[in-house]
Structure 1
C-alpha cells in the first residue's frame, strides 16, 4: 500500500483549491466591491466634511442666515427625497435590516438598497449637514456601502457560496468600519445588529471584506484616531461612582430618546403627526426653523453632527453649557423627524460626551474617561448595541486601557434602555416594511415578521 505523506495531502488540497475557479471568482468580486464600498463611504465622508465647513463659513459670516437657510434647505431636501429617492430617508440602517427580511421579494429589495439609493444618500446626507441639521454620516454609510456591495450579486458566478444576505451584512458593516476607521467595530456591528444567522457570522470572506473597507479608509485618512487619544492610565477607584452615574443617566436618556424617535416616526393622532402626514415638506421646514433657532440661541454649538464638540470635550475644553445635552437631544430628534437622510451615531456620541462632561463637573472628577464612558453609554442606550458601542468608542479614542470600563458602562446603559424602549433600528425597520407595495404572497395581513421576532429576542 502506497504511503501518503503530509506533503502529498497538502498538494492535493492546494490543487483542489486552485481548480475551483468559482470560489476564486466569488472572492475577487466580493473584495472588489468591498473596496468600492469603502471608497463610497470615503466619498461620503469627504463631501459631508465640505458641507460642514461651508455651513460654518455661512454661519460665521451671517449669524442670522440659518433662520432662512436651514428651513429652506431642509424642506428642499425632503421634497427631493420623497420625489426621487424615498428609500434614502432617515438613517439607512433600518433599510438594510428591512432588505434582509425574508418577506421582501428579491425584486423589491431595491426599495431599500441599490446603487441609485447609495448615490442619492451621499448627496442628500451632505445636504442635511449643509443645512446645519444635527445628523451624522455613519448610519448613511451603512446604506451606501450595503447598496454598493449588494450590486456584486450581478457579477457572482452561478452556484456561488456567497448569498445576497451575506453581501448586505458585509456591506453594512463595511460602512461602519470605513466611516469610523474602526475595522473591529464593523465586524462587531455585523454580528450584533445586522446578522443573527451563524452562517453569516462565520464567513471569513465576508469578514475580510469588512476589514478591507475599514483598512482602505485608514490608508486614505491616516491611522489617527477619530477623536484623538485619551489618557486612561490614571484611572482610580474614585471614578467608580461617577462612572456608574454616567451609565445610569445614559441608559435612561438613551432609552427615552430611542422611544421618542420610534413614536415620532410611527406617528399618532396629535397635531404635529397629522401635519407631518398631510404636509411633509412644510413640516420639514418647521423642524428646520426650530433647529435654526436653537442653534442661534446656543451660539452654534448644536448645529451639525457635533464632531468638533466631542473632540473638544475629550481634549479638556468646555464648549458647552448646562442645557447642551437636552438641546442637542431636541435638535437631533427634530432633524430625524423632519425626514431628511441622516443618522444619529455622531449626535449620540456628542450627547454622551456631554453627559460625561456634566457628571464630571457635578462630582469634581474632571477626567476624559468619563466623557468616553458617556459616549459608549449613550450610544449603547440609544441603539441597544452595547458591544458595537464600546468597541467603536475604544477604537476611536484609543481607550484600550479602559476596555472593561467601557464594556461595563455600555452593557448597563443598554440593559436599562431596553426596559424603556424596544430596539431602535429593529422598530424602524418594521416601519420600512410598510413601504412594500403589497403584502407578499403566502403571508397573511398582520402576521408576525421575522424582524418582530428578532426584536423580541433582543429585548
Structure 2
C-alpha cells in the first residue's frame, strides 16, 4: 500500500545535503558567467557590425578589399588553430551530446579555448560584413562554459556533462535574444531527450538565470522589436495566395534538387 510522501522528512534530507547545494551553486554561478559572455559577444558583435556600416557609408568601394581580406584571415586562423570553432555552433553542441561520442572527444567540439576563439572569430566576421548571426556561436560559447563546470562538481553528482551541455546551449539562446523562456523551449525542441529527470529543475533554473543576466543588462525589451501588422482587406488575397504558392513550389524544388 502506497503512502503519502513525508514533506518534513524530504525537506530535512534536502537541506542536509551540503555538497548537493554546493554543486547547484557552482552550476548557477557558471550560468551567470555564460550569460555574461554571451552578452559580451552580443555587444561586441553589434559594435563590429556598426564599424562595417560606417566603413560602407564612408568608403563603399573599400569593402571590395576589406571584406575578402578579413575573411581570408578568419578562415586561415580557424583552420590553422581552431578547427572546432568552424561552422554554426549548434551542430557541434548536438554532436557533443551524442551518447556514442567518447568523453575525451567532447573537448574538440566545446571547450573554453574554442569558446573564446568563437567569440573573436564571430566578431571579426561581423566586422567583415559576413552574413552570420549570433545564435549558433552563442550556443557553442555558453555550452562550453557550462561544460567546464563539471570538473568542480562532486563525483557522485547527478549532473552529468551532457546535462550541462543542454543547459549551456539553451542558456546561450536565452542570453543572446534576451528571452529566458525561449532558452527553455530551445532545450526542449532542439536538444530534446537529453534531460536527466533528477537534474531537470536545476538545468531549467540555469537557463532562465543566464537569460535574466541579459535582461539585467539590456532591459526587459523585445530583441526583435515590435511587429505592427497593417490593416488588411480582400485586395491582399490574390497576391497573398500567389506568393504562398510560389514560395511552396520554390521550396519543394529546392528540397528535391
The TM-score normalised by the length of structure 2 is 0.88
Is residue 2:128 matched to residue 1:131?
yes
Residues 237 and 144 (structure 1), Cα distance of their counterparts in 2 relative to 1, 3 Å cut: farther
Shift of the alpha carbon at 1:25? 1.6
Give secondary structure in 2 for the equivalent of 1:199: coil
Task: Give yes or no for contact 1:122–1:140 (8 Å, CA) kept in 2.
Answer: yes
Is residue 2:144 matched to residue 1:147?
yes
Alpha-carbon RMSD across the aligned residues, in angstroms, is 2.8
Task: Give yes or no for contact 2:166–2:195 (8 Å, CA) kept in 1.
Answer: no
Is residue 2:187 matched to residue 1:187?
no
Is residue 2:172 matched to residue 1:169?
no
Residues 69 and 233 (structure 1), Cα distance of their counterparts in 2 relative to 1, 3 Å cut: closer
Task: Give yes or no for contact 1:121–1:144 (8 Å, CA) kept in 2.
Answer: yes
Residues 221 and 163 (structure 1), Cα distance of their counterparts in 2 relative to 1, 3 Å cut: same
Is residue 2:54 matched to residue 1:60?
no
| Residue equivalent to 1:38 | 35
Shift of the alpha carbon at 1:252? 5.9
Is residue 2:114 matched to residue 1:117?
yes
Shift of the alpha carbon at 1:248? 5.9
How many residue pairs were aligned?
254
The equivalences for 1:364-379 within 5 A come to: none
In structure 1, distance between residues paired with 2:16 and 2:238:
61
In structure 2, distance between residues paired with 1:76 and 1:180:
28
Find the partner of 2:98 among 98, 101, 104: 101
Name stretches of at least 5 consecutive residues in structure 2 with no aligned partner: none
Shift of the alpha carbon at 1:102? 2.0
Task: Give yes or no for contact 1:190–1:201 (8 Å, CA) kept in 2.
Answer: no
| Residue equivalent to 1:13 | 10
Residues 173 and 253 (structure 1), Cα distance of their counterparts in 2 relative to 1, 3 Å cut: farther
Name stretches of at least 5 consecutive residues in structure 1 with no aligned partner: 1-5, 260-419, 422-459
Give secondary structure in 2 for the equivalent of 1:162: coil
TM-superposition CA deviations, 1:37-96 (whole Å, max 9, x none): 101100110111111011111111111011011111000000000111100011000100
Residues 128 and 25 (structure 1), Cα distance of their counterparts in 2 relative to 1, 3 Å cut: same
In structure 2, distance between residues paired with 1:184 and 1:38:
14
The TM-score normalised by the length of structure 1 is 0.51
| Residue equivalent to 2:66 | 69
TM-superposition CA deviations, 1:323-380 (whole Å, max 9, x none): xxxxxxxxxxxxxxxxxxxxxxxxxxxxxxxxxxxxxxxxxxxxxxxxxxxxxxxxxx
Find the partner of 1:84 among 50, 67, 81: 81
| Residue equivalent to 2:25 | 28
Task: Give yes or no for contact 1:195–1:201 (8 Å, CA) kept in 2.
Answer: no
